[in-house]
Structure 1
């Protein structure tokens, strides 16, 4: 899984506002949206700033997908 998938899952599951995350991380909402849709690469500095906003370590974001597999209620067939 791509780390951008994990970030998108975190934002969705926590019902966070993308524009606010972007603002706090020093990104435009368009840039963050493109990252979450995997239409734009995420550089390391951006990842670190987003992690600070989310109060998560980069390691926690990387491992997020594997920690939450199977907890979606049967959406695996999508």
Structure 2
């Protein structure tokens, strides 16, 4: 009986699936930007023996790029609706 209900309300299911994929995409964007830049900065610091300088710089760049990317994705998503 539950499967019949889901099949009749396919539009509700597709909306929920679309929102889930959007939330997942935004989460992956944030994680990759912040952690990627963090580890790049840490790698440069280890090679140049400058303890937290590049790590902090790249962490700030990672956060800024994450917000910028999330903003672009959400702007594109809301324009389509």
TM-score range, shorter chain: under 0.3
The TM-score normalised by the length of structure 1 is 0.25
Task: Say which one has the larger Rg.
Answer: 2
Which gives a bigger RCO, structure 1 or 2 (Cα 8 Å, sep 6+)? Answer: 1
